[in-house]
Homo-oligomer: A and B are copies of this chain.
Amino acid sequence: MKSFVESANSADTDFPLANLPFGVFRRGEADAPRVGVAIGDRVLDLEACREAGQLAALDEQTEAACGAPDLNELMEVGDMPALRRVLQDLLGEHSTSKPELHEMRNVELLLPARIGDYTDFYASIHHATNVGSMFRPDNPLLPNYKWMPIGYHGRASSIVVSGTPVKRPSGQTRDDANQRPVFGPTTRLDYELELGVFIGRGNRLGEPIPVGKALEHAFGFCLVNDWSARDIQTWEYQPLGPFLAKSFATSVSPWVVTREALEPFRTKSVERDPAELPHLQDDVAYDITVEVWLQSAAMNEPIRVSRGNFRDMYWTVAQLIAHHASNGCNLRPGDLLASGTISGPGKDARGCLLELTWRGTEPLELPGGETRKFLEDGDEVILRAYCEREGLRVGFGECRGRVAG
């Protein structure tokens, strides 16, 4: 399946014709945001397609949603299989249309959706065990962990798109229990490598989503960097959970990879032991390689500091959604559910510096002799993810953020 867009046929592109992730872009500051689709190094302009009548084969709602200023409408009502077929024809090597494309480097990529609520889970048992053993050595994995996906509400207002600089936050910390706490810039700034799920169709308040139908509510996936200030977190998090340690910024990648594009990469999840309760029973995981790359101000190019896989998560995407709605909580189109840090069993698969440097006791060595316990000003963190199977590659692009002092 080839595209007339040359760059989409290269073996290492994240955005071949089989992917077609959705995003929102503008051509300049004065331009209104519009929906786009990534293809190779280009962006297909869906508003222009609509105006040219190239989406006329779609139902009216889906066609109208392609002209919206964000993805929320498409998430709610879009017939995505049909839209994907139309776009694959439009962008295929035998396409007779001339759809409007922009060079991706020439457009500004924006937040893909208005995110009403943002929820962050804790679905990697490797991450939970590692972090738990640092914060509660005698009690690393709490008794509830294996019975339900633990999660908490995050801050929606401070979610920013990849490329937005992240200002080092100030906060209250206390290193010594015999001293007064102090207020000042965090000295333990960390990233967290996560994947996020954008909710498509929502549920009504009071009406849970059965786990067997839960994936139907997942519109698509993006990369999430849940920036964390570990010193602030340690001091504030009891008893109500993380708050200001996280709410200063959360970065997301601009391209939302649809559930349909990930179908070829479904695999069997790890088994819960003990088995999950019936209302959470599911075994669908996705085989997605996830990586963290880091570049300090002194370095010429980033190096990879970890690589894991999303299929190692203890709780599946369907379980996160079904659990979230199990009390009747309404999920709305555009809501974001993040997975929590994706860590694997191996040391090279630890998805945050807290784990990778074991709370700073095993500093990371960078080329040129620098070391890192936590992030320094000028450091850029780059998250990447991709699926690969039998010559087919579906990628997520990047989620970047540079630490500003």
Contacts and interface: CB of A to CB of B under 8 A. Distances in A.
Given A144-B236, A326-B171, A160 B247 contact: no
Contacts of A177: 143
A94 interface: no
Nearest to A330: B157
A241 interface: yes
A239 interface: yes
A interface bracket (residues with beta carbon within 8 Å of B): 35 or more
A18 B309 CA distance: 61
A327 B247 contact: yes
A380 to B, nearest CB: 17
Contacts of A172: 147-148, 277, 326
Nearest to A160: B205
Among A136, A157, A324, find the residue whose CB has the most chain B CB atoms closer than 10 A.
Answer: A157
A239 B241 contact: yes
Main secondary structure of the interface of A (DSSP, over half): loop
Given A205-B249, A249-B205, A335-B157, A142 B239 contact: yes
Contact of A237 (B235, B239, B331): B239
A150 interface: yes
16 contacts: A116-B156, A142-B239, A144-B238, A152-B153, A152-B241, A153-B153, A157-B335, A167-B205, A167-B328, A182-B277, A205-B248, A205-B249, A229-B327, A238-B239, A244-B326, A249-B328
A278 B172 CA distance: 12
A144 B235 contact: yes
Contacts of A368: none
Interface of A: 116-117, 122, 132, 135-136, 142-144, 147-148, 150-158, 160, 167, 169-172, 174, 177, 180-183, 205-206, 208, 229, 232, 235-245, 247-249, 274, 277-279, 323-324, 326-332, 335
Given A144-B235, A183-B279, A169 B248 contact: no
A232 B156 contact: no
Contacts of A116: 116, 156-157
